[in-house]
Chain A
Amino acid sequence: MTGEHPALALRGLAKSFDGKIAVAGVDLDVPTGSFYGLLGPNGAGKTTTLSMAVGLLRPDAGGAWVLGRDVWTDPVGAKQLLGVMPDGVRLFDRLSGGELLAYHGLLRGMDPAVVDQRAAELLDVLALADAGRTLVVDYSAGMKKKIGLACALLHGPRLLVLDEPFEAVDPVSAALIRDILQRYVAGGGTVVFSSHVMEVVQRLCSHVAILAEGTIKRVGTLEQVRGERSLEEVFVEVVGGRTATGEELAWLSR
């Protein structure tokens, strides 16, 4: 039944802050089972779009549907199917990693025994078991990303929305996260994540959308968007940034 619905559908999402337009009408269909990369420069509106898609930020206009369930009129139904790792949002970081997982699990209405078992596995796989009872606030940036991912995965969501999952993560952890996400997609899950690291997107994604100035500039499968060129070339061309500096910063070189 869910097969006919896209895993995530956005229609005309728009948001402005104090008269400044952050997102100007985003339409997006994320097919079930896809590994979807949302690309964009800093300030393009990636975080705003994803926040509206998962119910963290009320849009000025438009709507979002998770597997056919409206995030804003049926939040309970939609949020059950959803695992989210927001960026720039604190975790309840005065809990230890294990406690945080227990909190998220029970908050999702899971059985305590299942929470215990899955949490132990996740902590083990993500190499967080050694941290013991260290509070999350004392974790390194990379460890915080990993525990955030574990919290999003714990209840076995159908759709995983990750904001900048690879930022501040060392290469070893990044490889680990990539591996976990690929297994998750291979098992029928859908991943949407935002990034501005081209090579990660190029390596992982089946579909790509490029967001700039609050609108979708390019969208499609990786091959469609990239064509014959590298993703980075397409990205820079679409975003229209300047690629070289001229005379101005001469004082830097001395």
Chain B
Amino acid sequence: MAVPLNAPTDQVRRVSARHFVRLKLRVMGNNFRGQGWRVALFLIGSLFGLWFAASAFFGLAAPGLTGNDRYAMLVAAFAGGLTVLGWLLLPLVFFGVDETLDPARFALLPLPRRTLVTGLFAAALVSVPTIAVLVALSGLVVTAGVFGGWFAAAVAALGVVCGVLLCVAAARAVTSAFATMLRSRRVRDLAAVLLAVAAALLGPLQIAGLAAFQDVDWDRLAGVATVIGWTPFGAPWTAGIDVAQGRAWAAPLKLLITLATIAALLAWWSRSLESAMVGAASSGPAKASPAATGGVVAQLFPRAASWLKRDRFGVLVAREARYWWRDARRRANLITIAVVGLFVPVMVNFGGQGFTVGNEQGFSLAGDTSPLLVSLSMLFVGLLAAVTLANQFGFDGSAYAANVVAGVPGRLELRARMTAFSLYVLPMLAVVAVVIALVLGEPAWIGFMAGTLVGTYGAGLAVNSFVSVLGAYSLPETSNPFAMNSGAGMVKSLLTLLAMVATGAIAVPMVVAAALLGDAWLWLGLPLGLAYGVGAALLGAHLAGDVLDRRLPELLAMVTPRR
């Protein structure tokens, strides 16, 4: 009765996307098992998401609810376009993608690529953000329905669903391609440039958004909205409005644009997916490694850090410094800091300038900048740089065991990690201060800008020392620097938010000083900021180091990926 081993085909059943979805739900469920706090965090995060979605829903339905036909197209095009852009860029910059189903795990299964891509795509759709966006953008359906009746509402609903598919496909394709690129060291510089360009795209949109805020010229904006409506960014969202406004012919075309874009994105994803699947096996050709010269100690210390003493502190700094550059996941974070650090201040301080020219009596929220506004933008850059360390032990994973076995004192460990990270970040912050001050045409501000940056950064280091010791989580051991475990995504977002709020609170004196001290702050800013930052960081390392000493094995268990 033995079934022949070499003829298994008659037993094979087709694998459908449903299997992937069920697998993802099962993995998510198992991750929650016996971890009450994870469930709680997940619920809190979901509630946040839904609350946000609900308010956005009413915002987008407002043109319909108030019967204001004029704004319908505008709202659909801009809100929809920003949503797509957000899904495109935010995973790269902040949040990462949920890689509950790691593509590499499917490498050995006899699955056609098409099945794999559709399956992973379907699984990616099952997530809180997707549902939240779906709820939020459904507001457009209400608007279309009010103006165009049932048919327009149906078209709008179809458009919104396609739009959400587009968002998810875009996020997947971009992060996957990016991960592939970052893995090969040769193109990492190109990657940095690409990210910069992508972030730069936010600038014009921000200007447009501020302009809309100021109610400058609705007709001109309507023109822009129409154009956006014909790009993949706006096409899915505006189709329903087109029907409602009597341009029914446009709807099928726009849906076609959307579907073609989704198809193209999925095709792109499936190509980069293949390299992601085999990536683990062949992470680059074995380079002809140069023969080691000199002693091993000399090899370990980077040339830029050769001033370090050859002791425990020095060697911890040297290893961390090497890691910030060699680990793709960390390098991606550094690139993010560099890009965001330059572009956010530019956007904040220049946001509305183009529009205030033609609108002199308009309020000066944007336009001509002030020390206060500059301080706030510097504060943001500083805390963003520091929050990168919120899961600094998670980067190490189980390798952290080496430090536990060696019994590294907590304070030493934290101080060394801060120092190594600062080797990269402080020069970046200096560049930010100088460049922004020059761009603003206020070179006298360099001092207090740098002071605010360093002060906030130092406060952030202190806060994030605690966060990294108490709220560490494991990162998956994949080659995708943007990958995160399910559940961890929510944890990460909440912890990041918490750390940033706490840092902001501690750094508030820097902004208050800028507002109160006036010209004196121009001179006092740098020394006070430096003292504040260094003091906060050292105090943080001192206090958090004690906590770390008591929890070495617990921390190791938290950052060790479960297998």
Contact = CB atoms under 8 A, between A and B. Distances in A.
Interface in B271-315: 283, 286-287, 289-292, 295-300, 310-312, 314-315
Nearest to B294: A116
Nearest to A93: B399
A6 interface: no
B402 A57 contact: no
Nearest to A52: B553
B319 interface: yes
A85 B533 CA distance: 39
A7 to B, nearest CB: 17
A102 B299 contact: yes
Contacts of B287: 134
A101 B296 contact: yes
Contact of B2 (A93, A96, A134, A254): A254
A55 interface: yes
Given A90-B398, A95-B322, A107 B406 contact: yes
A54 B405 contact: yes
Contacts of A251: 2-3, 5
Nearest to B288: A132
A23 interface: no
A175 interface: no
A166 to B, nearest CB: 20
Chain B interface bracket (under 10, 10 to 19, 20 to 34, 35 or more): 35 or more
B177 interface: no
B326 A57 contact: no
Interface of B: 1-5, 33-34, 283, 286-287, 289-292, 295-300, 310-312, 314-316, 318-319, 322-323, 326-327, 396-399, 401-408, 477, 552-554, 556-557, 560, 563
B120 to A, nearest CB: 26
Interface stretch (A31-39, A76-84, A184-192, A210-218): A76-84
Contact of B300 (A79, A95, A151): A95
A120 interface: yes
B289 A116 contact: no
Contacts of B299: 96, 98-99, 102, 133
Contacts of B283: 137-138
B553 A57 contact: yes
Contacts of A95: 300, 319, 322
Given A89-B398, A251-B5, A254-B4, A56 B553 contact: yes
A132 B402 contact: no
Contacts of B404: 55-56
B507 to A, nearest CB: 33
Interface string A55-86: 11110000000000000000110011010101
A218 B531 CA distance: 62
Contact of A116 (B1, B297, B311): B297
A107 B326 CA distance: 20
Given A54-B405, A79-B407, A138-B283, A102 B296 contact: yes
8 contacts: A93-B399, A98-B299, A98-B300, A109-B311, A116-B298, A131-B289, A137-B283, A252-B5
A94 B292 contact: no
Name which of B4, B399, B403, B557 has the most chain A CB atoms within 10 A of its CB.
B399
Contacts of A103: 300, 315, 318-319, 402
A88 interface: yes
A135 interface: yes
Given A92-B396, A92-B402, A135-B326, A250 B2 contact: yes
Contacts, number: 144
Contact of A92 (B289, B323, B556): B323
Contacts of A134: 286-287, 289
B311 A98 contact: no
A18 interface: yes
A108 B402 contact: no
B312 A112 contact: no
A79 B89 CA distance: 46
A18 B554 contact: no
Nearest to A58: B553
A170 B1 CA distance: 40
Nearest to B405: A84
| Closest 3 pairs (CB-CB, A-B) | A116-B295, A106-B315, A98-B296
A60 B390 CA distance: 29
A84 B554 CA distance: 18
A150 to B, nearest CB: 11
Interface in A169-204: none
B402 A151 contact: yes
Contacts of B318: 103
Contacts of A116: 295-298
Contact of B406 (A96, A104, A115, A119): A104
Given A57-B557, A79-B405, A86-B401, A106 B312 contact: yes
B405 A112 contact: no
Contacts of A132: 289-292
Name which of A95, A123, A250 has the most chain B CB atoms within 10 A of its CB.
A95
A245 interface: no
A253 interface: yes
A254 B5 contact: yes
Given A19-B34, A102-B299, A103-B300, 9 more contacts: A103-B402, A104-B406, A107-B403, A129-B292, A133-B289, A133-B290, A134-B286, A137-B283, A138-B283
Contact of B326 (A88, A94, A109, A151): A94
Nearest to A17: B34
A55 B399 contact: no
B405 A56 contact: yes
Nearest to B551: A58
Contacts of A252: 5
A12 B396 CA distance: 32
A171 B532 CA distance: 59
B381 to A, nearest CB: 28
Nearest to A75: B407
Name which of B2, B296, B311, B322 has the most chain A CB atoms within 10 A of its CB.
B296
B557 to A, nearest CB: 7
B426 to A, nearest CB: 23
A3 B477 CA distance: 44
Contacts of A96: 289, 292, 299
A225 interface: no
A91 interface: yes
Nearest to B6: A254
A71 to B, nearest CB: 10
Contacts of B323: 92, 94
Contacts of B556: 56-57
Contacts of B402: 91-92, 103-104, 107, 151
A89 B552 CA distance: 15
B505 to A, nearest CB: 33
B469 to A, nearest CB: 15
Name which of A76, A104, A106, A108 has the most chain B CB atoms within 10 A of its CB.
A106
Contacts of B4: 254
Name which of B5, B299, B399, B405 has the most chain A CB atoms within 10 A of its CB.
B405
Given A75-B407, A109-B311, A99 B399 contact: no
Nearest to B295: A116
A183 B283 CA distance: 38
Name which of B1, B310, B323, B396 has the most chain A CB atoms within 10 A of its CB.
B310
Contacts of B297: 102, 105-106, 112, 115-116
